[in-house]
A and B are shown apart, each in its own frame.
Chain A
Amino acid sequence: MIIASMIVKALPENIDEVVLKLNNIPNVTTYGVHKEENIILLIEADSEDQLKDLSRYINSEFEGILGTYPTFVASDEEMEDVIKSSN
């Protein structure tokens, strides 16, 4: 499981609608609108691909989006498990 936070920047006039839409995406939780144009998202995804797809989806399908900017990413999978599975 990948856990990430992201700031979604949107035009102030579209921001309420964007928050509503974001809250409808599975495994996405919004944490308020800050400084007019910034929405904080917490994402819990099965893979990095889902994170990337989500970012692309938000950028391409939502009106009034200015950009999506990750601020944190981590996995609850331990590194040693990864190395073991590669051997």
Chain B
Amino acid sequence: MSLSRRDFLRASALSAAATTLGIGSIFGNEAFAKAKIDEADFMQDSKGVQWHKSVCRFCGVGCGVMLGVKDGKPVGIRGDKENTVNSGLLCVKAFYLHQMITAKNRLLYPMIRKNGKLTRATWEEALDLVASKFSEIRDKYGPDALAFYGSGQAETEETYVANKLFKGHIGTNNVEGNPRLCMASAVGGYTTTFGADEPIGTYDDIEKCDLFFIVGSNTAEAHPVLYDRIARRKRQNPNVKIVIVDPRKTPTNKIADLHLQVIPGYDLAIIHAIAKLIIDNGYTDEQFIKDSVNFSDGKNPITYEDYKKFLEKYTPEYAAKQCGVNADDIVKAAKLFGETPRVMTMWCMGVNQRVAGVFLNNLIHNLHLLTGKLGKDGCDSFSLTGQPNACGGVREGGGLCHLLPGHRVVANEQHRKEIAELWNVPAEKIQPKPGKHTVAMFDALGKGEIKGIYILCTNPAQSIPNLNKYLKGMSDAFMVVAESFHPTETSQVADVVLPAAFWGEKEGVYGCTERRSQHMAQALKPSGEARWDGFILADIAKRMGYGNNFEHFTSVEAVWTEYIKSTKGKDMDLTGATFARLKKVRGLRWPVPSEDHPGTTHRFTDGDPYFPKDKAAGKRMYFYTKPDGRATIFARPDKGPEEPTSAEYPIALTTGRIMEQWHTMTMTGQVPELVRAAPNPYVEINPEDAKEWGVKTRDKVRMVTKRGSLIVEAKVVDRPRKGTIFVPWHWPESLTNILTIDAVDPGSKEPEYKVAACRVEKA
């Protein structure tokens, strides 16, 4: 007798959980007896289900996911037990994967705005309109009147095609992506300190680490699978310690040994103080410093002694006063960092989304360079990534206004020549000057300097800071949005909306936090009339007269194969990660210069295929992306936030994510406890502040900054420190980014989402 679909799914669900835990079959196991599912029926119904290997499309962890398909229809999603990143576990966002494939707001056909309304159109009409309008703007106003705004959720191949079209053929460097808003400061930190972007170590270090130093990251909610690996490491090794530096108490605190609850925007002094204590207490690795480190004040080289002098003022007491923490806790943190042999620092948006984001990244690297806790098991200065392909597609693929594929920059003549040759265009076609960074790009839209923009797989009408300033520009310009869903805040003000194939309906490569590139299989046909983004862009290229250099892109593999040529011989060499190989394995970590190379666990040291043993001459690490092989310790000022609190705006507003970070949260739960646990848009307020303001949980409060105001429910909770409020930014009906400031880090151009001055009133 065949099972009902529901019984089949119940059995599949229990089997997936049992497999993940390694407890074998659910059949005959007493714990599963109450499921009352017949094994023979289940096995019979399982026939014909094909499980396709893929990667989660949410955060940057890169968890392996299997998509089950039977008769051309999705039957389920489960964690990939064979993928070492997550070993079958997923986080709550996995529930979105299912929701998104079958979402009722999938965009199924192209739309064109006619008489002010988006109406159904054919592909021919839509693509002709985009190509003719873009050509007209290019011819009339020049290439820099056009722009592309992409995404860390787009595949590497999609970003590559867009980059080739806009930088190499239209001739504008106005090519950006939303990783500018989340990872640009990490890029700036890695490139200035080490000479090349992305971490030295990998996730393998987690299981060997004895101290996790977590700065500005709510790992438990933002990267739950990594959090589980950290928590498991601590449970199995009680001597493992966890230190957190964050303005908020978060669920990550459940495993913390020490929490430095800093004033938002003032944590640089803490890191300097720890550096000073490391030196004063003899925790440094002097041989490593002698062999592999330079010092700089940011403009000129300085000596080790100059650096020590620079640190003199950063006593624990000075830092404690600056940051609002206990000086003894800074001493404890420094002692732990100095005395623990294997240390990993992990950080995320709390460090990057700051006007001092690059500086703070540099200071974190300083601690690892002073102690030599880099390039060996259990040690790294390891940036966590927010999106699934920010590293692979945008950072490695060169999808920002100053970059070219393969860790190249537009300002470098040789780099332009190499990429122009690959793209079969004259070198002078690629401009040497970086284009407009994200905030400047949307500013230029408002000013009419950019007249046409192509937006792929992202929603800037909700995510740009200081939104009120930029929304009109998005409405006024000729805006094309390629999306899988409609409406979004952005698609509903677009002139053309193009239906893009979604995850599972297309194949491609994602590159995650630990330099791992992974192939995602196509398991389903695109819904409705949706098409792969790369084909849409190539089609527009042909219609704009650039067909010769795009017509060979007849498959995703063809794009990947061209892209990896750009990485040959580079620090991020992917030439051994052919499409055929990636289809078989659970990802490869670059550099992987040949098809028989296993990938690289630690860079710049023995085991890295580009580690130059001759130049290193016995040194443990040689940073071959720096001219002399030495990384740089920077004496950076302890710069505070752009907008400090004041008498008029006395509260620090900080924004962030909660576990459900990718969609709206319409609360339809029927269980009262669940409704209570998942409220509407809210602001977290410290109990002491709430008492002073006469505010209780669920009261409406108005938050006011210099840029706008917003009314949401109060949630009085001992999470933010006194004088600070925390607002998640997910709800489209309550646009948090009306409040945030659009000041950017001068180096990375990343906005300071994490600190703004505000006042709070009972509404």
Contacts and interface: CB of A to CB of B under 8 A. Distances in A.
Given A49-B665, A69-B91, A79 B102 contact: yes
Given A74-B76, A83-B528, A51 B95 contact: yes
A69 to B, nearest CB: 4
B300 interface: no
A67 B95 contact: no
Contacts of B19: 71
Nearest to B105: A86
Contacts of A54: 669, 671, 674
Interface in A36-83: 37-38, 40-42, 44, 46-57, 59-61, 66-80, 82-83
Given A61-B677, A80-B73, A7 B20 contact: yes
A40 B674 contact: no
B665 A50 contact: no
B75 A74 contact: yes
Given A7-B20, A40-B21, A56-B677, A25 B671 contact: yes
A57 B673 contact: yes
B12 A7 contact: no
Interface in B634-691: 658-660, 665-671, 673-678
B180 interface: no
Nearest to A1: B6
Interface stretch (B27-35, B192-200, B389-397, B706-714): B27-35
A22 to B, nearest CB: 12
Chain A CB within 10 A, most for which of B224, B524, B674, B678: B674
Contact of B677 (A60, A69, A79): A60
Contacts of A37: 235
Nearest to A66: B231
A42 B10 contact: yes
B677 A2 contact: no
B77 A53 contact: no
Interface string B550-570: 000000000000000000000
B702 interface: no
A73 B97 contact: yes
Contacts of A73: 13, 76-78, 94-95, 97-98
Contact of B660 (A2, A3, A26, A52): A52
B79 A71 contact: yes
Contacts of A2: 95, 98
Interface string B3-46: 00110011011111111111100100011101100000000000
B89 interface: yes
B104 A86 contact: yes
B106 A71 contact: no
B670 A67 contact: no
Contact of B668 (A4, A9, A49, A67): A49
Contacts of B677: 53, 56-57, 60-61
B302 interface: no
B225 interface: yes
A71 B17 contact: yes
Contacts of B88: 71
B20 A71 contact: yes
B228 A9 contact: yes
5 contacts: A7-B20, A56-B660, A69-B91, A71-B13, A83-B108
Interface of B: 5-6, 9-10, 12-23, 26, 30-32, 34-35, 68, 73-79, 88-92, 94-99, 101-106, 108, 220, 224-225, 227-228, 231, 235, 251, 254-255, 524, 527-528, 658-660, 665-671, 673-678
Interface of A: 1-7, 9, 25-26, 29, 31-32, 34-35, 37-38, 40-42, 44, 46-57, 59-61, 66-80, 82-83, 85-87
Given A67-B224, A72-B77, 8 more contacts: A31-B34, A40-B14, A70-B90, A70-B94, A71-B90, A73-B13, A73-B95, A79-B524
